[in-house]
Structure 1
Amino acid sequence: MVDLAAEVGGRLLRAQAAHTVPTDLQALREWVQEAGWTDSVFAENPDLDNPRVRVALDRAMAQLADVAMVRGHLDYGLPNVLPAGVIDWQHAAPRPGAARLRHSPGPGDHPVQGRHQGLPGEPRAAAPVPGGAERGGPRHHRTSPHPASGPYLLVKALFFLALMKPTDPARTDKHLKWQYRRHQFVEVLEQYERTGAVDTACLPTLDAFTARHGGGHP
């Protein structure tokens, strides 16, 4: 299964690299909105819809202005990988070509998660893997970051907050996970503001966050 995923993923990367699409500000705005699920995130976390976050997202788009766009799947994972290729393209949209995901979600993991990988010939960069972090496992891959990885990871940190706010006050476990994802986003935002890059190895695991903040919720 792993060999098949790698082979199909390689074919997808080569196809994307060979069929870039023009980059413009509107395409980048649409990518931020769709890849970050910003409408959903800001609806559930209205305090994050503020000038500080908007400035960071504008900076991310400016940083990606010279990166070619490719046709992205936006829901790429093992359930959509078949020997003949990749299926389930209803969420497809242009995306920055320097940003690719190859991932293998486990039971209960977020629909899209995994390690960041550049197009062929580009260096890899570490990316947040919430499923691994929540279980305390060392699933970060630390290498020299691609210049586009900072903006990309900022947007993905927003995505990991989408649909996370619990509606049942009794589910303290879900409240804790929601607060954990919020904490991760703020840390990613602070790193990006300081350096324009993101080192996800500095983010706490869910176990470390729980030990520091307790098992309840405000």
Structure 2
Amino acid sequence: MVKRRTAADDGAVWRSVDGSLFKRTGGAELEAEARFLQQISALGYPVPDVVDVGSDDTGTHSFTERSAGTASLHDLAVAQTGPDGLLPAELLAAAAHISAQLLTAQLANPIPGGPEAMSAFFTKAAFAGDVFAENPDLDTPRVRDAVDHALKRLEQLPAARSHMDYGLPNAFPEAVIDWQHHGTAPAGYDVAPMLEIVPFKGGAKGYRFTEAQRHGYLAALDAAAIEVGAAPVSGYLGEFLLVKCFFFLALMRPADSDARPDKHAKWQYRRALFTTGLEQYESTGTIDTGTFPTLAAFTAAAGQSRP
């Protein structure tokens, strides 16, 4: 067994002895996931081949797929990070390559979008219900207006079959894995924020990207979009990141019985990032994650501000 599947009761991921196959086990939703993978593979999406789908006498469902490789881009990033936390150009090129492949497939196979689709996308991707339940002070006309503006802008993009949880850990040089949370999203939502979401982790990943690297990555995606006659995706980065501000705040509030100070600090940190992102989006139409402090810096500053 490699790991338990996130948000899946009794689900797990298994690797064959020779490492050539991976088996995902869990509930009946796995068969739908496997069918989805087979569908998007036929559409040119860079995903592993599904070689077997089924269930056993215990009611456990599973599908088996070919290995995407020995190391994800996150694994490679950890291995290649320099003393200053920066990454080599080769890693950025690999990220741009697989992301451009995914974006090209999404743009080549649009699906119906519109206001209802974008509203459903926001509900699923942002976990807004959880954010507002845990942070009722954020459920304000100001926040709702910003969301409405963002969704109106996102209606301009074609809708696409999307990963919804795309990042370096599930991207490999030639394939994208872990489509458990797939859904409909505006084209570009998966790939454009890939490097930008790292600062939301507060420095825990151990690596970071320079402004030039982030801009270069987005330029590669814009070039891929323009090549197939679509609009550059970088112009919608602010909207994508506003959704991510919600996503990374969701389910962060500790239970009242949990007295661990680190959990409270992380919740307050994500609230601060949410507020910063909202203010930047309102004033500039985008969000610069390069201005986000690390969790350690935020905690230290908060400690100094106490009397």
Deviates more, 1:129-138 or 1:63-72: 129-138
Q: Give the Cα–Cα distance (whole angstroms) in 1 for the partners of residues 129 and 146 of structure 2.
A: 16
Going from structure 1 to structure 2, the CA distance change for 1:15 and 1:52 (only over 3 Å counts) comes to same
Per-residue deviation, residues 33-55 of structure 1 (Å, max 9, x unmatched): 11111111111111111111100
2-structure distance, mates of 1:19, 1:208: 43
What is the DSSP-based 3-state SS (H/G/I as helix, E as strand, rest coil) of the residue aligned with 1:99?
coil
Tell which structure's C-alpha radius of gyration is larger: 2
1:13 to 103, 109, 122: 103
Q: Which is bigger in relative contact order (C-alpha 8 A, separation at least 6)?
A: 1
Q: Give, in angstroms, the shift of residue 26 of structure 1.
A: 0.7
Q: Which moved more, 1:30-39 or 1:82-91?
A: 82-91
The answer to whether the Cα contact below 8 Å between 2:159 and 2:184 also exists between their aligned partners in 1 is yes
Is the 1:38–1:159 Cα contact (8 Å) retained in structure 2?
yes
1:16-69 per-position Cα deviation (integer Å, ceiling 9, x unaligned): 121112320011111111111111111111111111110000010112221111
Measured in 1, the distance between the counterparts of 2:252 and 2:189 equals 24
CA contact (8 A) 2:165 2:190 kept: no
Structure 1 runs (4+) deviating above 6 angstroms are none
Other-structure match for 2:246: 158
AA in 2 matched with 1:162: A
Match of 1:130 among 200, 213, 236: 200
Maintained 8 Å contact 1:136/1:206: no
Residue 130 of structure 1 deviates from its aligned partner by: 2.4
Unaligned segments of structure 1, at least 5 residues: 103-112, 116-125
Contact 1:157 1:188 in 2 (8 A): yes
SS of aligned partner of 1:197: coil
Given the alignment of the two structures, is residue 46 of structure 1 paired with residue 118 of structure 2, yes or no?
A: no
Change (3 A) 1:82 1:201: closer
> Superposed, which structure 2 residues align to 1:43-122 within 5 Å?
43-77=133-167, 86-101=176-191, 114-115=194-195
**Contact residue 126 and residue 244 of structure 2 kept, 8 A:** yes
- Deviation of 1:214 after TM superposition, in Å, equals 1.9
Number of matched residues? 197
Q: CA RMSD in A?
A: 3.2
Measure the CA separation in 1 of the matches of 2:127 and 2:273: 16
Cα distance in 2, alignment partners of residues 204 and 188 from structure 1: 12
* Cα distance change on mapping 1:86 and 1:137 into 2, 3 Å: closer
What percent identity do the matched residue pairs reach?
45
CA distance in 1 between counterparts of 2:293 and 2:172 reads 34
Instruction: Please tell me whether the aligned partners of residues 135 and 207 of structure 1 are also in contact (alpha carbons under 8 angstroms).
Output: no
User: TM-score by structure 2 length?
Assistant: 0.56
CA contact (8 A) 1:33 1:39 kept: yes
What amino acid is aligned across from residue 174 of structure 1 in structure 2?
K
Flag the 1:68–1:92 CA change in 2: closer, same or farther, 3 A.
same
Matched, 1:175 2:264: yes
